[in-house]
Structure 1
Amino acid sequence: MPEEHRRGPLRVLAPTLGASVLLSVAYLLAPAMGTDLAAQQARAEFFAGHGWAPVDFGWYGGVGQFGYSLLTAPLGALIGMRLLGALASVAASVAFGWLLWRTGVRRPVVGALAGVLVFAANLVSGRVTFAVGLALALAALCAAAAALPYPGSPPAGRADPAPPPAGRADPAPPLAGRADPAPPLAGRADPAPPPAGRDDVALPLAGLDDAGHPRSAWRRRALVAAVFLLSALATWASPVAGLFAGLAGAAVLLTAPVGAALRAGSRVASRAGLRSWRPDGRWPQALSLCLGPVLALAPMAVLFGNGGRQPFTAESMKIHIALAVVVVLVVPRRLPAVRIAGALTVVLLLGAFYLPSPIGSNALRLPMLFTIPVLAAVAELGRVRLALLLVAVWWWQPFLVAGDLGRAGSPESRPAFHRSLVAELAGRAPGRIEVVPLRDHWESVYAAARVPLARGWERQVDTDRNALFYGDELTPQQYVAWLRANAVSYVAIAPGAVPDRYARAEAALVQQGLPELRPVWQDGTWRLYEVTGAQPLVSSPARLLRSDRGGVELGVPARGDVLVRVRWSRWLTVAGAGACLTEGPDGWTVLRVAVPGDYRLTSSLRPAAKC
């Protein structure tokens, strides 16, 4: 075992834990901040009020709460989203630090402390769901690393060399004036790979204990199972984090065949090298890292997925491809898995840009967050050159969104900002309202708690259902048609607040005045407009009695079909024996009534009353 590992991980974990706890406490003491925190908070509050109900009726006419995450809303409802994020940040920091120590990188302490800053910056942006998933994904990588011997361990069956007998000197150093053995000539292939059972530098074979001896079979199986379970849980917490865990597994899977091809040199030799290559002891862990996310995401997407597309600009894609290329070029060749992961990140970014999907710009989190910690830990550069490189990477793409930090404690993030609007709407007829989205989307928390919103805060769903706001131009005719098609009764705007970047055109239209928007109320913060000619949430002769995040209640005076402008979902159910549900036109829901009366449309993981 190398000397640095005999000293144990405490020298890495102690400063890592201390710095992470300090920054997490500072985060908890600071006011609310981050563009994404509102979405996390809203989901936690929905779960606290409605439990495992799968559909949130307060956003987008009904949206699945579990398409975003299966785990974080229940955990956030239990202990609070900000505390959950702080704990996840500490856990991720410790796991990352242990991983750097365990893999024997050059500067584990520097890399781990850079990781602490990165995970704290992730908290500043409010990405609590991703923080939880990332902590679990890093824990999965730790479990995979625990199944591998320390870098530099002797091969199976061989012990460390015995020290020389007392009184005998160590072998003499090379004679003065003699040079060390010459490096291989340019163009020559690297030396042949080490024999089976030997350390493959950063990613040695599984099945050995810390001294290089075989592990017990049950422990190997337990570690493989832990890798699978943790990577699956990471996916259920955050599909993006699960994707990154799978990418790490793919990098490990490709290390051996790619290395065999590169060592072979010529094309013919490369083919021969690939044919002679066989799976080694790393494969169980690597396959678990790949299969865990895939098998976890498949049912989650099929049963609860909301679909949609995450916007991703060409400029952002190019910036982050450059970061991944830097990793490939700077990371030493003795760490092939890290270099392959950098190359796979380039592929991921290109795919996320050219193939519309819910991933989109979320793919950039991998290079944005990990480039600086990885380079700080493994780059074989002097201090000055390394510092210059890290400063250049930070200048090119900082991992901290400064605007999120600067807007901490903004008025829009406080309940008082929304109180007058909510009170005014409480005295009006129930219906759906469009609040022009604020920059940090806190209306999706405080307004949605009392009245259903036409929109909310899930970008992928918004681009799918409300594509007009993401086009080149928003016309008054398009906007009014959208309001009526979505059964919007009122439009509210806070003229003094900064809108979301995709809501600027909408804000301009509302403030300039439209004939179809009749002013009905205003105060020093809000203006409220009634939509003339608005379609009702339920079709005549039914009457809307109540509408909230948990469902829609209506009175039906006669038998027949009632169109309820709530998005159809397999999880919808209706209370009452005299009616059933079926999918209606334009993706809405039809309530088929056999017995007149009052009915409440809700959702359940065990839905009933389908026609």
Structure 2
Amino acid sequence: MPDQRRTVSPAGPIRTVLGAVGLAVLLGGVFLLAPPLGTDLSAQVARANFFARHGFAPLDLGWYGGVSPYGYSLVTPPLMDWLGGDSLGPRLAGVLALLVSAAALALLLVRTAARRPLAGALVGAACIAGNLVSGRITYAVGVAFGLLALLALTTPRPVPRRLAAGTAALLAGAASPVAGLFVGLAGVALACKEGPLVIAFCRRRAPFSHLRHARRTVLDGAALALGAGVPVAGLGLVFGSGGWMNISLSDTVTAAVASALVAVLVSRRAVRIGAILATLGVLAAFAVRTPVGLNATRLAAMFALPVLVGYGALPVGLARRWSPRVAGAALAGALVLVTVVEPPVLVADLRAAGDPTASRSYFQPLMAELARRPPGRIEVVPTANYWEAAYLPEAAPLARGWLRQVDQAYNRLFLDGSVDADSYGRWLRDNGVGYVALADAKPSWVGRREAELIRAGLPYLTPIWQHRDWTLYAVTGAPSIVESIRSGATPGGGDLPDESGGPGPGAERGGAELVRATSAELTIDVPAGGEILVRLRWSRWLRVTGPFGPDGVPVRPTDPTATVLPACLAPYGDWTVLRVPQPGRYRITGSLTAAAPRCAD
């Protein structure tokens, strides 16, 4: 982050801010008028739609057998839902974030006496708008809060500015863990900025007043780092979905090059330290599998170019040896290089314009067909921009969704190209998939091989419905999401599921019946007390209620003096086992305050 210098730039704060906001208004308007763009917008719509239907439910059972939306964002889904339905709300949230970010960045450049604040602010607005084209609305909201946190540190009064900066940093981390991570990095860079002063004081080469200045800067950095770190670490540890994010060598190199150029060409110590940390972070994301992965490149993609435009200059030694014309050409060459390796807008995101699957109407026929069939989990071959993840969970829980980290954890066969007829059949059975849907539209790269297998014909897939845009298949011999387990098996404390994905020895078909399946609830009819394998990912936030009668009225024991143990849940391999004391209808949901008791081993 920039040093805290409050000298007003000759460009003038009003002209700089108005220029940046004016460009942001123009680009935001174009973004709203354009058709849905990018591959990430569908994930934002999915989060907003889930919140619209289920509020702050801690588990989304419509993706991957259950994931927590809190690990993705705590702030952005309600904001997107409040602003509008389907893609309108997320896009409006993105434009609001763009306007706030453009104004905050412009003021930050002015207050820190950037060399070219107006140019930096204009380029910054364009780069932030480019992020919207990719569809990363959640990240955009987090960035807006992060820039407000940095801006707060340019105000004079220490305590209010740290409270404001810490609060904005906390909101950045709660809105987007990736943005929170970058705000924390800025805080660390700011805290480390005064390291040489502290060392000089310890060696008695600097007066005490310098140490007091260093202390103020360290406290400012700590406000950022702690404010952002609390939600990022807390939500990740408690609600994280696990898995890891891929990052290619080419993405690593381009982001590292852009960050290294910032470190070389910007003399501000805090910025230089931050750029070095960003470079190391990208290299670490490539070397170690973490949920960050490719996300580590976003800092360079959004801010390397505007920071270089605003603050960049050749090192003093080179500037003295070269003529102004040569020095200017060298700096321009560096800017062109960064633009090439980290372009503000990706061509692939622009190609998403006009995708027919971006409309809810594309999925309506399939949703209507699923509504009249028995409930069950469905595998939808991923379309190019993953819009099935946004709309179809309203009709049936998806075997997958749009969260690459979870795909890496559970569905590697689609990512590494190893999927074939046998492994695909095993995967369908493992996940209790009853239906497979193939769209006539272009598949995503992760669904290309899967689509080829289905079109070639698979013995365990039977076509049961045809539409101009869709083919729906039933999976022959696949187990349901729920299965009764006969007495003698010990799920959760004994036998684990076998390689076919069914229950361990002692499992039987029939018995428990899935009555209803939504993104927030499974309803199960159980004919007798016992144990039921439930193909939901185990979570401490799962809750079971019941038994109920078919009319929804709670069932009472016939003997009021008898002691009846409550229904309970326990982990069973990758899945969950439900133990019920008596027959009836049971509901499994997610709850933060009333989770079901865990079954004793």
TM normalised by structure 2 equals 0.84
1:159 maps to which residue? none
Helix, strand or coil: the match of 2:578?
strand
Q: Are the equivalent residues in 1 in contact too, given 2:266–2:311 (CA < 8 A)? A: yes
Provide the rounded CA distance (Å) in 2 between the counterparts of 1:583 and 1:231: 37
- State which of 561, 568, 586 in structure 2 corresponds to 1:581: 568
- State which of 143, 147, 151 in structure 2 corresponds to 1:134: 143
Deviation at 1:270, TM superposition (A): 11
1:379 maps to which residue? 312
Aligned AA (1:565): R
1:203 maps to which residue? none
- Matched ranges for 1:433-512 at <5 A: 433-494=378-439, 496-512=440-456
Deviation at 1:561, TM superposition (A): 1.1
| CA distances 1:475-525 after superposition (whole Å, capped 9, x unpaired) | 22111101001000111111x422222222222222222111122222221
Provide the rounded CA distance (Å) in 1 between the counterparts of 2:206 and 2:520: 57
Cα–Cα, structure 1 residues 584 and 253, in superposed 2: closer, same or farther, change >3 Å?
closer
Pairing 1:521–2:461 present? no
Cα RMSD over matched residues? 2.3
Q: Are the equivalent residues in 2 in contact too, given 1:368–1:397 (CA < 8 A)? A: yes
2:67 maps to which residue? 63
Helix, strand or coil: the match of 1:306?
coil
- State which of 597, 601, 608 in structure 1 corresponds to 2:584: 597
Deviation at 1:433, TM superposition (A): 0.3
Q: Are the equivalent residues in 2 in contact too, given 1:581–1:589 (CA < 8 A)? A: no
1:192 maps to which residue? none
1:12 maps to which residue? 16
| CA distances 1:193-222 after superposition (whole Å, capped 9, x unpaired) | xxxxxxxxxxxxxxxxxxxxxxxxxx4211
Pairing 1:331–2:266 present? yes
Helix, strand or coil: the match of 1:584?
strand
Provide the rounded CA distance (Å) in 1 between the counterparts of 2:128 and 2:38: 13
| CA distances 1:370-390 after superposition (whole Å, capped 9, x unpaired) | 111011111236665544432
Q: Are the equivalent residues in 1 in contact too, given 2:544–2:567 (CA < 8 A)? A: yes
Q: Are the equivalent residues in 1 in contact too, given 2:538–2:574 (CA < 8 A)? A: yes
- State which of 94, 110, 113 in structure 1 corresponds to 2:122: 113
- Matched ranges for 1:30-49 at <5 A: 30-49=34-53
Provide the rounded CA distance (Å) in 2 between the counterparts of 1:64 and 1:4: 46
Helix, strand or coil: the match of 1:539?
strand
Pairing 1:238–2:215 present? no
Q: Are the equivalent residues in 2 in contact too, given 1:52–1:605 (CA < 8 A)? A: no
- State which of 215, 221, 225 in structure 1 corresponds to 2:163: 225
Q: Are the equivalent residues in 1 in contact too, given 2:64–2:400 (CA < 8 A)? A: yes
Deviation at 1:330, TM superposition (A): 1.5
- State which of 284, 297, 301 in structure 1 corresponds to 2:219: 284
1:368 maps to which residue? 301
- Structure 1 residues 3-12 or 42-51, which shifts more? 3-12
Pairing 1:555–2:555 present? no
- Structure 1 residues 515-524 or 434-443, which shifts more? 515-524
Aligned AA (2:50): F
Helix, strand or coil: the match of 2:52?
helix
Deviation at 1:70, TM superposition (A): 0.6
Pairing 1:300–2:261 present? no
| CA distances 1:118-137 after superposition (whole Å, capped 9, x unpaired) | 11101111100000000001
Cα–Cα, structure 1 residues 58 and 273, in superposed 2: closer, same or farther, change >3 Å?
farther
Deviation at 1:595, TM superposition (A): 2.5
Aligned AA (2:296): A
Deviation at 1:51, TM superposition (A): 0.8
| CA distances 1:196-253 after superposition (whole Å, capped 9, x unpaired) | xxxxxxxxxxxxxxxxxxxxxxx42111111111111100100110111111111112
Helix, strand or coil: the match of 1:66?
helix
Provide the rounded CA distance (Å) in 2 between the counterparts of 1:305 and 1:3: 43
Provide the rounded CA distance (Å) in 2 between the counterparts of 1:328 and 1:466: 39
- Structure 1 residues 415-424 or 77-86, which shifts more? 415-424
- State which of 32, 50, 57 in structure 2 corresponds to 1:28: 32
Aligned AA (2:593): R
Aligned AA (1:501): W
Cα–Cα, structure 1 residues 11 and 548, in superposed 2: closer, same or farther, change >3 Å?
same
Deviation at 1:472, TM superposition (A): 4.5
Deviation at 1:8, TM superposition (A): 5.3
Aligned AA (2:181): L
1:146 maps to which residue? 155
2:480 maps to which residue? 536
Deviation at 1:365, TM superposition (A): 0.4
Q: Are the equivalent residues in 1 in contact too, given 2:243–2:409 (CA < 8 A)? A: yes
1:74 maps to which residue? 78
Provide the rounded CA distance (Å) in 2 between the counterparts of 1:248 and 1:608: 38
Aligned AA (1:445): A
Helix, strand or coil: the match of 1:56?
coil
- State which of 485, 509, 516 in structure 2 corresponds to 1:546: 516
Provide the rounded CA distance (Å) in 2 between the counterparts of 1:379 and 1:38: 37
Cα–Cα, structure 1 residues 40 and 274, in superposed 2: closer, same or farther, change >3 Å?
farther
Helix, strand or coil: the match of 2:400?
coil
Q: Are the equivalent residues in 2 in contact too, given 1:257–1:274 (CA < 8 A)? A: no
Provide the rounded CA distance (Å) in 2 between the counterparts of 1:77 and 1:3: 41
Cα–Cα, structure 1 residues 270 and 3, in superposed 2: closer, same or farther, change >3 Å?
closer
Deviation at 1:570, TM superposition (A): 1.1
Provide the rounded CA distance (Å) in 2 between the counterparts of 1:313 and 1:275: 48
- State which of 509, 534, 537 in structure 2 corresponds to 1:567: 537
Helix, strand or coil: the match of 2:582?
coil
Q: Are the equivalent residues in 1 in contact too, given 2:109–2:310 (CA < 8 A)? A: yes
Pairing 1:397–2:342 present? yes
Provide the rounded CA distance (Å) in 1 between the counterparts of 2:567 and 2:116: 64
Deviation at 1:346, TM superposition (A): 1.1
Helix, strand or coil: the match of 1:447?
helix
Provide the rounded CA distance (Å) in 2 between the counterparts of 1:330 and 1:436: 47
1:155 maps to which residue? none
Helix, strand or coil: the match of 1:515?
coil
Deviation at 1:552, TM superposition (A): 0.6
Provide the rounded CA distance (Å) in 1 between the counterparts of 2:203 and 2:162: 31
Q: Are the equivalent residues in 2 in contact too, given 1:260–1:273 (CA < 8 A)? A: no
Aligned AA (1:58): G
Aligned AA (1:69): S
Provide the rounded CA distance (Å) in 2 between the counterparts of 1:272 and 1:243: 36
Helix, strand or coil: the match of 1:602?
strand
Aligned AA (1:256): E
Q: Are the equivalent residues in 1 in contact too, given 2:300–2:342 (CA < 8 A)? A: no
Q: Are the equivalent residues in 1 in contact too, given 2:255–2:341 (CA < 8 A)? A: no
| CA distances 1:455-489 after superposition (whole Å, capped 9, x unpaired) | 00111111112122222422221111010010001
Provide the rounded CA distance (Å) in 2 between the counterparts of 1:2 and 1:560: 70
| CA distances 1:49-106 after superposition (whole Å, capped 9, x unpaired) | 1111111111111111111001111111111111111101111111111100010010
Q: Are the equivalent residues in 1 in contact too, given 2:544–2:569 (CA < 8 A)? A: no
TM normalised by structure 1 equals 0.83
- Structure 2: gaps spanning 5 or more residues: 84-88, 315-324, 485-510, 548-554, 556-565
- Structure 1 residues 71-80 or 277-286, which shifts more? 277-286
Aligned AA (2:18): A
